[in-house]
Amino acid sequence: MTAQPNWVTEDVDTEKPSIARLYDYLLGGKHHLEVDRELGRKAIRAAPGLVLLIRANRKFLRRAVRYLVGQGVDQFLDIGSGIPARGSVHETAWASDPKARVAYVDIDPVAVRHGQEILAGDDRAVSVLGDFFEPERILGDPEIGKVIDFGRPVAVLVLNLIHFFPDTKVRPALAAYRERLVPGSHLALSVATDDTSDALAIDSLYQEEYTEFTLRSRAQIDALLDGFEPVEPGMVYPPLWRPDDPERVTENPERYSSVVGLARKP
C-alpha cells in the first residue's frame, strides 16, 4: 500500500475526489491524491481545453482583484478558494495595496491547512474551514471577523464552485451573502456554461462523482447576479473580461466552457 503524503490527516476523505485537490492538480500543484489525478486525467481526455480554461480563470481572478483594488475595494472573501496557488488573491491584492485584507474559505481541510501555512504570522489574511452553503456561519466566523469588516465594502469571490450545485442551493446562498453586504461590495463569479462541446463532455464525466453538477444557460447565469449590477463587459468568456492586452485576446474565445464576471451591489 502506497504511503499517503504527510498532509493527509484523519479528516481528509481519500476515497472521493476533492474539488480543491482536483483544481490543484489541473493547475500543476502538489496537493492531490491518485483519486483526484485519476478524475483529472479523465477530465482532460474528455475536454482537452480544460487545463487552458482553468488557467484562464486564474488569470481572470488576478485581473478582477486588480480592478477591485483600483475601485478602492480592499477586503476580499474568497469562498471555495481551493489551495492558494501562486498568484492567488492575497499576492495580487497586496501587490497593489499592502493593507488589503483577505479571508480564504474552503470545505476541504487540506486547502485550509495549506492556506494557514502560507499565511502564518500575517495578520492581514486568514484561511478558514467553511461551507459556502452556510453563509451565516461564514459571515459570523470570528477568525474572518478579525480581517473583514462587513460594515465596509467587500468583494466576495465564488470561482469554479457554483456549477457543482443546483440553483435550489446556490441562489438562496447568494441571496444571503448579498443581503449582508453593504453597497459598493462586489460579487465575482466563474460558472460553467452549457454552450460548448467540452462543457457537455465534462458534465457527463463529473456527474459520476458529483451528482449535483449543473451546467447553466447564459440566462440562468445572469439570474445569479440578481440584486447586483454587472460590471462591464458582464459575464463573458474568460479571455474577454478586461484583458490586459486587448490586441492579443485569444482566438475563438467561445471554446472556453465557462463565463466569468464581476457585479456590484448598488
pTM of the model: 0.84
The closest alpha carbon to 158, from 97, 253, 233, 89, belongs to: 89
- For residues 2-27, average pLDDT: 67
Show the cell assigned to 138.
461564514
| Mean pLDDT taken over the chain | 86
173-226 per-position pLDDT tens digit = 999 999 999 999 999 999 988 876 566 666 666 766 678 889 899 999 999 999
Per-residue model confidence (pLDDT) at position 7: 55
> Phi and psi dihedrals of 247, rounded to 5?
-75, -15
Provide the residue type at 117 as one letter.
Answer: E
For the beta carbon of residue 236, count every other beta carbon within 10 angstroms. 16
Pairing type for strands 155-159 and 125-129 reads: unpaired
Per-residue model confidence (pLDDT) at position 255: 65
Q: What is the three-state SS of the chain?
A: CCCCCCCCCCCCCCCCCCHHHHHHHHCCCCCCCHHHHHHHHHHHHHCCCHHHHHHHHHHHHHHHHHHHHHCCCCEEEEECCCCCCCCCHHHHHHHHCCCCEEEEEECCHHHHHHHHHHHCCCCCEEEEECCCCCHHHHHCCHHHHCCCCCCCCCEEEEECCHHHCCHHHHHHHHHHHHHHCCCCCEEEEEEEECCCHHHHHHHHHHHHHCCCCCCECHHHHHHCCCCCEECCCCCECHHHCCCCCHHHCCCCHHHCCEEEEEEECC
Examine the pLDDT at 13 and tell me if it is beyond 80: no
Examine the pLDDT at 1 and tell me if it is beyond 60: no
- For residues 67-84, average pLDDT: 94
* Least confidently predicted of 14-18, 91-95, 253-257: 253-257
* Least confidently predicted of 31-45, 95-109, 222-236: 31-45
Show the cell assigned to 111.
486547502
- The domains of the chain are located at 19-239+255-264
What's the burial of 219, exposed, middle or buried (CB within 10 Å: 0-12/13-18/19+)?
exposed
For the beta carbon of residue 249, count every other beta carbon within 10 angstroms. 12
| Placement of cell 465596509 in the chain | 152
58-71 per-position pLDDT tens digit = 899 999 999 999 99
Pairing type for strands 258-264 and 229-230 reads: antiparallel
Query: Percentage of the chain surpassing pLDDT 70?
Result: 82
> Phi and psi dihedrals of 209, rounded to 5?
-105, -35
Per-residue model confidence (pLDDT) at position 210: 72
Per-residue model confidence (pLDDT) at position 35: 81
Cβ atoms of 144 and 103 closer than 8 Å: yes
Show the cell assigned to 182.
453593504
Per-residue model confidence (pLDDT) at position 38: 81
* Least confidently predicted of 20-24, 116-120, 191-195, 251-255: 251-255
Pick the CATH number of 19-239+255-264 from 3.60.150.10, 3.40.50.150, 3.40.30.10, 3.30.70.980: 3.40.50.150
Show the cell assigned to 107.
470545505
| Strands of 186-192's sheet in order across | 125-129, 101-106, 75-79, 155-159, 186-192, 258-264, 229-230
